[in-house]
Amino acid sequence: MFNNNPKPAGPDRAQLTAVQRLAVGIPHRVTRLNGPYTALLHRLGELGIVTILSGNESAIQETTCIYRHAHRGGPQPLPSQKWKYGFAVNDKDEDDQLQRSLQFFDGDGNSLHKIVLHDAGAIAAYRAIVRDFAAAEQTPVLDIFRTRPLTANQGADGIDVDALRAEWAQRNNTREFLERQTEFDHLRLHKLRFAGRAFAHQVANDSVRILLQKMADLGGTVIALVGNAGIVQAYQGKVKQILRSDAWLNIVSPDYRLRLREDHIDSVWVAKKPTVDGIVTSLELFNRQGISIARFFSCTEPGHPEPREWRDSILRLSPLFGA
């Protein structure tokens, strides 16, 4: 997902997962790291400016900043139990320049999170982190057990619709509500369908392009949540430019880029959640398996309603009646 391109020799390369191909570089270009990784992530502020990448097969979010947990400008939740493999990688980038990065994967070998070093003055700190968290056994052999891909139907029968609607109608604290949105929820699409039209409705699949272009034109601030079952990465800032390249939609700002596969979008929903400061409105994208691709909110400060330009723009999107 994050464009690793190791080149192990031999006829079995095509049979390897992305994480196994990366592990072939152990111990020369790649160092295997010890988990759990919470303590490691707490030290990433020592690296200065880095590029942080998280995403899924349909969307990848890149933010260039100092790595901080629970920072309003780009919160990085602590890793879940999904994080199984971690590596420090010294490799060439697309410009044939040496690139140092930290990369994390789940037990199926799926990319979860990547941090790319930029500050040449932080190389000593990077090496110290790698030394302190290097695994005692540096072997390229990984136990990968491919499980059935997650779908939105797993556990859907257990949703209590009455309880869901009652909870949805409650006026939550705005800050606490927004902080909870970084939790991955594979049942989110079912919950939107069960919430009722007062709180959620489906809109056209091109709505994300229309809305973000409008926010770019107005200079509005957007919160973008993109991730996977291991981590949901948040970005808060202004959208400066929207570019299209084949099936890819590129949302660009200084120190930020979101790459989104529009052809992977199977449904788009508008959700409305009551809070003590008024309704918080979001736009949410899902793939064919019913799993979240990305979610978008406006910047809503506690004690203030969400910006009118956001709500007006999102409520002008064409609803799909009968969907």
d(CA 24, CA 7): 9
Long-range contacts of 88-93 (CB under 8 A, 24+ apart): 88/30, 88/31, 88/33, 88/126, 88/129, 88/130, 88/134, 89/4, 89/22, 89/25, 89/29, 89/30, 90/29, 90/30, 91/4, 91/5, 91/6, 91/25, 91/29
d(CA 284, CA 225): 9
d(CA 231, CA 225): 10
Residue 77 has pLDDT above 60, yes or no: no
d(CA 307, CA 112): 32
The more confident residue out of 43 and 299 is 43
Quickly state the pLDDT bin for 22 (edges 50, 70, 90): confident
Quickly state the pLDDT bin for 185 (edges 50, 70, 90): confident
Neighbours of 259 (CB within 10 A): 19
Quickly state the pLDDT bin for 313 (edges 50, 70, 90): very high
Residue 3 has pLDDT above 70, yes or no: no
- Kindly give the pairing relationship between strand 98-105 and strand 111-117: antiparallel
What proportion of the chain, given as a percentage, has pLDDT over 70?
Answer: 86
Q: What's the start-to-end Cα distance of the chain, in Å?
A: 32
One-letter amino acid for residue 154 of the chain = Q
What proportion of the chain, given as a percentage, has pLDDT over 90?
Answer: 60
Q: At what angle do helices 161-169 and 188-195 cross, to 10 degrees?
A: 80
Quickly state the pLDDT bin for 12 (edges 50, 70, 90): low
Q: Tell me what the pLDDT averaged over the chain comes to.
A: 86
pLDDT in tens, 235-279: 999 999 999 999 999 999 999 999 999 999 999 999 999 999 999
**Mean of pLDDT values over 130-149:** 79
**Mean of pLDDT values over 59-76:** 72
Beta strands per DSSP E along the chain: 30-33, 49-55, 59-66, 85-92, 98-105, 111-117, 200-203, 221-227, 232-238, 241-245, 248-253, 256-261, 267-275, 278-286, 292-298
pLDDT in tens, 190-227: 999 999 999 999 999 999 999 999 999 999 999 999 99
**Mean of pLDDT values over 151-180:** 83
In whole angstroms, how far apart are CA 215 and each of 39, 51, 169?
37, 24, 28
The C-alpha angle 295, 299, 303, rounded to 5 degrees, equals 125
Residue 97 has pLDDT above 90, yes or no: no
pLDDT the model gives residue 8? 42
Paired tokens of 309: 């330009």
> What does the buried/exposed string (b/e) look like for 124-156 if buried means 16 or more CB atoms within 10 Å of the residue's CB?
ebbeebbeebeeeeeebebebeeeeeeebeeeb
d(CA 295, CA 299): 13
Neighbours of 225 (CB within 10 A): 24
Residue 18 has pLDDT above 90, yes or no: no
The more confident residue out of 143 and 28 is 28
Residue 225 CA from chain centroid, whole number: 6
pTM: predicted TM-score of the whole model, two decimal places: 0.87
Domains of the chain, earliest start first: 13-133 (3.40.1570.10), 156-315 (3.40.1570.10)
Residue 10 has pLDDT above 50, yes or no: no
Which residue(s) pair with 32 in the sheet? 87
